[in-house]
Amino acid sequence: MSRPDLHGLLAEFLAPADLVRAAHAVHAAGYRKVDAYTPYPMEEVLEALDLHHSHVPKLVLAGGLFGLAAGWGLQYWASVVEYPMNIGGRPFNAWPVFVVPSFETTVLFAALAAVFGMLALNGFPQPYHPVFNVPTFAAATRDRFFLCVEAEDPKFDRATTRAFLQGLGAADVQEVAP
Amino acid sequence: MASKAPPVTGHPRGGTRVRMVGPGHTFATVTDKIASLVLTTKTPLGWFLGFAAAFSLLNLLLVAVGYLLIKGTGIWGINIPVGWALAIVNFVWWIGIGHAGTLISAILLLLRQQWRTSINRFAEAMTLFAVACAGMFPIIHMGRPWVGAYWLMPYPNTMGLWPNFRSPLIWDVFAVSTYATVSLLFWLVGLIPDLATLRDRAQNRTAKIVYGMLAMGWRGSARHWSNYETAYLLLAGLSTPLVVSVHTVVSFDFAIAQLPGWHATIFPPYFVAGAIYAGFAMVLTLAIPLRKAYGLEDFITLKHLENMGTVLLATSLIVVYGYTMEAFMAWYSGTTYERFMIWNRMFGPYGWSYWALLFCNLLTPQLMWFRRFRTSVGWLFTVAMVVNVGMWLERFVIVVTSLHRDFLPSSWGLYTPTFWDWATFAGTLGLFLTLFFLFIRVLPAISIFEMRTILPGADLEEKA
């Protein structure tokens, strides 16, 4: 595959409401390879671009179940199989007390899954991304709202897409070098 | 400065929202103000003075712990019957302080309390540093920690020994280490978007590279926000039962023993409430000088401080209920030893600590009933300092007065802290403050991206 000469077109908006309106319009026009860049999480944008599905919860559930099994297994194995200690005649398989450390390992592994799962699904650490080539993009972490229609999208056309984005009230539309 | 309180445009219950940020702020001004505290090249003189004082105390800790490792725990005043003393008092005090940070960042997030937004970041940092101080104590209390690991941590060792999971001390290891790890993760995740802001705003090349690496390539993509928000919310949901479990497990260290004064079923809820109480006092202790020194009155408003005063009052009442029930149950149980324990607490050799505790935790917080005191920065700070002392005294009363006179008068004894006991405690204050000073210098003390979400500009309905 040859290297494309363009990552996409980046439209800059000054107000959050403008971005939400534009995101709805872009999605309705059939563009799917679209991403928005906002200084804070915006539910409305996720809904507009139909990005509201995250795989993080499944990973957290798996992490929690693993932690539960690992914590319980460790205690059972250490107290019953490997090193049974008779302390005042109490049972080796003292399951009620195993609940406490098992709870802690469940939370621990679920939290690790949440964080590292989120980082992995987002592809972090990612030192390079084309949008950083646009000088004004630094404002995406301050007070500007961006919408990027990527060149890979089948409907993408350099001229028509640009005109379309400008028609949505973008303050500026710039080409993103790959 | 007090005139910069947020405008209250109607009664809060009447449906009008109280803005938890000063008037006239936009995405840009909030970002620039908070980022400038970190990115400025001019470090305030007060920062250097505070850091120097804290760092001196940290060096005292180095000396105290160094001497302890050479000589052993004999340098402290501990002996049978008081084998647990200041080290455990300090451990419980520090770990309790940490709880407010998690409460603010997790529980208030789930309850959609908007006012948490400007105080959560530094409260979480406070949690981490307090847990670091707390975690030191059980370890150095072993005297020779390098040989003590096998009965605390389950790891395959050459002796083939495994810990006894039926002991609450092991639960403590699991609870505290999980708490420290999850608090760190929560804090780091919350920092990622702000680190990206610092990366994009830094002028200095080194700062750009360092913040850039820490931000890991964050660019505010909607796809990323979707995963990010889900993970953040789930972390809050996981931290909520975790924080309750941690002080519950700490209270089990006492409650599962048969000692009068420790063996009480009220301990878990009473310890958790006490932890939140102590923690909010520490948040106030840190927030008041911080907002003054850095001119953050627009973000940490009087309304925030007032809310924290209310939490202080509510939790103090729960703690006082705990004290009352301890005394009531001692009488109601009809047990000689329980009755003696409470009498000894009030009128024994350490009776002064019980009355001082009641002054600090029962009487002083009652000032928070009055709006005049809740909205006075000076009074809030004073009350918070008194509560800090009071909660330390509470743990002193529980640990020392319960241990020093148990069932058999022949095994009674007294405990007097030595210079090294106090030096270790003062040293951890130094560790805590040193870490805090470094934190406010290199990382944003207020969550920038979360502040943006509560600005009027983020309100889509108003625009439409």
Compute how many other C-beta atoms are within 10 angstroms of the C-beta atom of residue A60: 25
**What Å distances lie between residue B356 and A159, B261, B364, B394, CA to CA?**
78, 18, 11, 9
Geometric angle at alpha carbon A7, from B450 and A51, rounded to 5°: 45
- Is A40 part of any domain? yes
Measured between beta carbons, the chain A residues lying within 8 angstroms of B151 are none
Residues A42 and A68 in one domain: no
Interface of B with A in 206-225 (CB under 8 A): 212-213, 216-225
* pLDDT for the residue numbered B9: 39
| CB spacing of A124 vs B217 below 8 angstroms | yes
Q: Please, are residues B99 and B123 in contact by the beta-carbon 8 Å criterion?
A: no
Taking a C-beta distance cutoff of 8 angstroms, is the pair B398, B258 a contact? no
Q: What is the pLDDT of residues A25-69, one digit of tens each?
A: 999 999 999 999 999 999 999 999 998 889 999 999 999 999 999
Selected for mutation to probe chain B from A53, A68, A107, A132 (highest B CB count within 10 Å) is A107
- Domain for residue A14, yes or no? yes
Residue B461 has what pLDDT?
Answer: 63
A3 domain residue, yes or no? no
pLDDT at A178: 86
Tell me if chain A has a CB within 8 Å of the CB of B267.
no
Residues of chain B where predicted confidence (pLDDT) is lower than 70:
1-18, 461-464
Are A39 and B220 in contact (CB < 8 Å)? yes
Kindly report the backbone phi and psi dihedral angles of residue B127, in degrees, each rounded to the nearest multiple of 5, phi listed first: -55, -50
The pTM of the full predicted model, rounded to 2 decimals, is: 0.93
Q: Are residues A83 and A107 in the same domain?
A: yes
Distance from CA of A106 to the nearest CA of B (A): 9
Q: Is residue A144 part of a domain?
A: yes
Instruction: Measure the CA–CA gap between B160 and B202, rounded to whole angstroms.
Output: 53
Instruction: Check if the beta carbon of residue B353 is closer than 8 Å to that of residue B397.
Output: yes
Contact B99, B246 (CB under 8 A): yes
Determine contact: B16 vs chain A, CB below 8 A.
no
Question: Same domain, yes or no, for A49 and A60?
Answer: no
Topology classification of domain B41-458: Formate dehydrogenase/DMSO reductase fold (1.20.1630)
User: What is chain B's alpha carbon radius of gyration, rounded to the nearest angstrom?
Assistant: 23
Task: Kindly report whether the peptide bond that precedes residue A130 is cis, defined as omega within 30 degrees of 0.
Answer: no
The verdict on B245 touching A (C-beta cutoff 8 Å) is yes
User: Do A115 and A150 fall into the same domain?
Assistant: no
Assess B171–A contact: CB distance below 8 Å, yes or no: yes
Indicate the DSSP class of residue B73: G
Residues A28 and A63 in one domain: no
Where do the domains of chain B lie?
A: 41-458
Cis amide leading into A125 (omega within 30): yes
Which residue in A19, A34, A104 has the most chain B C-beta atoms within 10 A of its own C-beta, making it the best mutation to test that interface? Answer: A104
HEC assignment per residue over chain A: CCCCCCCEEEEEECCHHHHHHHHHHHHHCCCCCEEEECCCCCHHHHHHCCCCCCCHHHHHHHHHHHHHHHHHHHHHHHHHHHCCCCCCCCCCCCHHHHHHHHHHHHHHHHHHHHHHHHHHHCCCCCCCCHHHHCHHHHHHHCCCEEEEEECCCCCCCHHHHHHHHHHCCCCEEEEECC
CA angle B61, B63, B68 (to 5 degrees): 95
pLDDT for the residue numbered A4: 67
pLDDT of residue B18: 58
| Residue in B with minimal Cα distance to A60 | B234
Domain total in chain A = 2
Which residues constitute the domain of residue A95? 56-121
Contact A78 B165 (CB under 8 A): yes
User: The complex's ipTM?
Assistant: 0.94
CB A169 within 8 A of CB A21: yes
Is A1 within a domain?
A: no
Amino acid at B320: V
Average pLDDT value over all residues in chain B: 91
* pLDDT at residue number B459: 81
The pLDDT profile of chain A, 178 residues, written as one tens digit per residue, is 455 688 999 999 999 999 999 999 999 999 999 999 999 999 999 999 998 889 999 999 999 999 999 999 999 999 999 999 998 888 999 999 999 999 999 999 999 999 999 999 999 999 899 999 999 999 999 999 999 999 999 999 989 999 999 999 899 999 998 8
CB count within 10 Å of CB B15 equals: 7
For residue A90, the chain B residues in CB contact (below 8 A) are 166
Query: How far, in Å, are B34, B35, B39, B113 from residue B203 at the CA level?
Result: 15, 12, 8, 35
In this structure, the answer to whether residues A79 and A95 fall within a common structural domain is yes
How many residues in total does chain B contain? 464
Best of B223, B245, B451 to disrupt the A interface by mutation (most A CBs within 10 Å)?
B223
Nearest neighbour of B222 by CB, restricted to A45, A107, A115 = A45
What pLDDT does residue B460 have? 78
Residue A110 lies in a domain: yes
Yes or no, beta carbons of B220 and A140 under 8 Å apart: yes
